[in-house]
Chain A
Amino acid sequence: MLRAQFVRSVRPFSSSATALAPKAVAKGFKKDNDGKKQRKTTGSFRMFQDHVNAGQFNKKAPQLVLPALEHHIEANTVVTYTQLQKQRLSQVGAFKKDQFHELFSSPITLVRDETKQIEALVHNSFKTSSKENRVCLLGERGIGKSTLLAQAQALIVENPDAVMLPISYGVKLVDGSNDYWFDAKLGTYVQPMYLKTLLDKIEYANKQSLAKLKLSKEYTIEGASKTRAATKFSTENTLLDLVKSKIDARHRGQVLQILIDELLLQQSAPVFITVDNFGSIISSPNSAYRNVENKPIAIEELQLTKTLLDFISGEKSFQKGGVILATSSDDKPTITLKAGLGLVKPDPYTKKELYDATLASRLAGVKPLELAKLSKENVTKLVEKYVEAQIFRKDELEQNTVEQLINQKYVISGNGNPLELIRSVAMHL
């Protein structure tokens, strides 16, 4: 009996079982054979923020009659963007997901005192060099830094000659989320995938202005391999042709380099660099990328960040133009930024993670623009428009007069924080 059990438990040595097994069918990534999508369940597949942003809910909102954001508009006016501005701003990523734009048929914005300051800077930039027009927007969470940047971009778009180089999320340049490689010809690390989206944005945002600018000399960019033909650009080609050209990913860094060089040479078009989430770029001297020795790559070694810092520091300057930076409360707070802008004097014993003197010195000459909280008059204007847009709850409107609502919301919003103001109206139980 024992022997029988022992024999039975021994694994057979023959391979006939595996040999006779039916051949496995290779499965692809396709979900079903018919090519039709089978929905098991109903409803949106998105998370809240994306669902709200992509649901086109603004189409259901009541129409508001508002003036458009133009040059020389009065302060303390609630405005909307023109069709052109809206198109360009959404293409460059100026509208952020958490700005409650879906509540209104068209994004609305308030012209503040700071808007007039930025407007003056933009006007000055049309005439003077970018070195003279460098500004960094600062302020607490939800105070309207990104909105002010969008307003600046809207004013820039109004000028058909202006060229805008928009970086909508600065953090994406340094967080290691893109592919990268060392371009020996340029001597820097290039991020081809990010560059693709950036060049697309530049193309969409500046179609008219780039088409007017012709190349100053001939350029040749190599093909993907030795057998592929190189792409040549003559003096007849415009900068729009350059940006639109389908260059191999590995040589895309050269396209940006040529674009910057050409923009530096020309005199007719004012060129603007706009960066949101700038604080995350300046928060550390090193990026999250690693080199072949597994050591962090410095932000000065990355092509894009180095180019940005060159213009921010004033080392390079467009003959006409400006640099507008906006920080974000999501960025890692460091002393480097504030010390660079001359707002604080760093303690000599500050840790290196919090303060980098070299990096701070690159910010010398950038003017800080601290955004103040909204005044009571500002809140009044906004609340009136919110009532018009029917975003208040019925019971709130029934129990209070508009004046009482203004007083309540002014206090609840922390004495005039725009984000808290709209949250107190739209996002409370």
Chain B
Amino acid sequence: MFRSVTTLRVSTVSLARPLRAVSSGLGLRFQSTIKNTSQDEDTESWLNAVKELKARYQSEGVPDFESPHMQQLVQEKFEPNSEQLAKFESLQGKPIPQKIDSVVQHCTNMIMKDGKKAKAERIMTRALYIVRLQLREDPVEVLKKTLDQLGPLMELKTYKTRVAKNLTVPVPLNERQRNRRAFLWIIEGSEKRRSKDFAVRLGEEIISAYEGKSSGYDKRLQMHKAAMLHRAYIKLR
């Protein structure tokens, strides 16, 4: 049923415009013979080749394709020479060097907003570049030294006693905590500077903190004073 309908439709089209359809069809056929002679030859040669192979495989059987290829894929086993072994031995105790210094990475993460680490890294790199230009020293060393100078040693922590008075006890800080507080003060100090570029502000503030001029030193002193006042609450076991 379906076939008959399609044939009918074709026939109506050809009836409606017989001349144009024939002429255009002829033209197309003529063009295709000119263009595709080489392609036809190629196809024929391919088909012949396939037929030949088929005949050969039927008579001789299908060859094992995998074995020669697999042999090629087998690699020679790597054997280190004595020099390489000596180097390997010498490096055994040493740790793999870090790509970025852990202190710098910690500070970069503190700058970061909304998870934009690349931006934070760019700011940090530029700030450290300014430090290098100004002081002509290794900027990472300068940063570490600055954080060490600026970081507070003690902090007050409040413990609830479940009676009327809460206890305020001075607690020592570890290195990471000290660095964190120091760098936050540096960021705070940098906000008061003039430049619109955070990298410039940060670089300048690191330099002034390195030279002992940052406002963070007052905060550090206050924290130490408060800790001294509350020293009676320290429990020594």
A residues whose Cβ falls under 8 Å from a Cβ of B: 39, 41-48, 51-52, 55, 57, 60-62, 102-103, 390-391, 393-395, 399, 426-429
- Asked if residues B97 and A44 are in contact (CB atoms below 8 Å), the reply is no
- Asked if residues A429 and B124 are in contact (CB atoms below 8 Å), the reply is yes
Question: Which residues on B sit within 8 Å (CB–CB) of A394?
Answer: 138, 141
Question: Which residues on A sit within 8 Å (CB–CB) of B100?
Answer: 429
B192 within 8 A of A: yes
Q: Find B140's partner among A41, A43, A393 (CB 8 Å cutoff).
A: A393
Q: Could you list 13 A-B pairs, sorted by A, with CB under 8 Å? A: A39-B194, A42-B192, A43-B204, A46-B195, A47-B197, A48-B199, A60-B134, A103-B133, A390-B136, A391-B132, A394-B138, A395-B138, A426-B129
Q: Find A48's partner among B104, B124, B126, B138 (CB 8 Å cutoff).
A: B126
Complex alpha-carbon distance, A48 and B139, angstroms: 17
> Which 7 pairs, one residue from A and one from B, show the smallest C-beta to C-beta distance?
A43-B193, A57-B133, A394-B138, A47-B197, A45-B194, A43-B194, A429-B100
Q: Chain A: interface secondary structure? A: loop
- Asked if residues B136 and A51 are in contact (CB atoms below 8 Å), the reply is no
- Asked if residues B125 and A429 are in contact (CB atoms below 8 Å), the reply is yes
Question: Which residues on B sit within 8 Å (CB–CB) of A51?
Answer: 130, 195, 197, 200
Interface centre among A391, A395, A399 (most CB of B within 10 A): A395
Given contacts A48-B197, A57-B133, 18 further A-B contacts (CB under 8 A): A39-B194, A41-B193, A43-B193, A43-B194, A44-B194, A44-B200, A45-B194, A46-B195, A47-B197, A60-B133, A60-B136, A102-B133, A395-B138, A395-B140, A427-B129, A429-B105, A429-B125, A429-B128
Residue of A nearest to B94 (CB): A399
Interface centre among A62, A391, A393, A429 (most CB of B within 10 A): A429
Complex alpha-carbon distance, A47 and B128, angstroms: 15
Given A51-B130, A52-B129, A429-B101, A45 contacting B140 (CB threshold 8 A): no
- Asked if residues A429 and B134 are in contact (CB atoms below 8 Å), the reply is no
Question: Which residues on B sit within 8 Å (CB–CB) of A61?
Answer: 136
Q: Chain B: interface secondary structure? A: helix
Q: How large is the interface on B (under 10, 10 to 19, 20 to 34, 35 or more residues)?
A: 20 to 34
Complex alpha-carbon distance, A242 and B26, angstroms: 78
> Quick one: which of B114-158 are within 8 Å of A by CB?
121, 124-126, 128-130, 132-134, 136, 138-141
B108 within 8 A of A: yes
Complex alpha-carbon distance, A200 and B144, angstroms: 48
Q: Find A393's partner among B124, B138, B192, B193 (CB 8 Å cutoff).
A: B138
Given A51-B197, A429-B104, A44 contacting B204 (CB threshold 8 A): yes
> Quick one: which of B182-203 are within 8 Å of A by CB?
192-197, 199-201
- Asked if residues A399 and B97 are in contact (CB atoms below 8 Å), the reply is yes
Residue of B nearest to A43 (CB): B193
Given A103-B133, A390-B136, A427-B129, A43 contacting B195 (CB threshold 8 A): yes
How far does the Cβ of B101 sit from chain A's closest Cβ, in whole Å? 7
- Asked if residues B132 and A426 are in contact (CB atoms below 8 Å), the reply is yes
- Asked if residues B192 and A41 are in contact (CB atoms below 8 Å), the reply is yes
How far does the Cβ of B192 sit from chain A's closest Cβ, in whole Å? 6
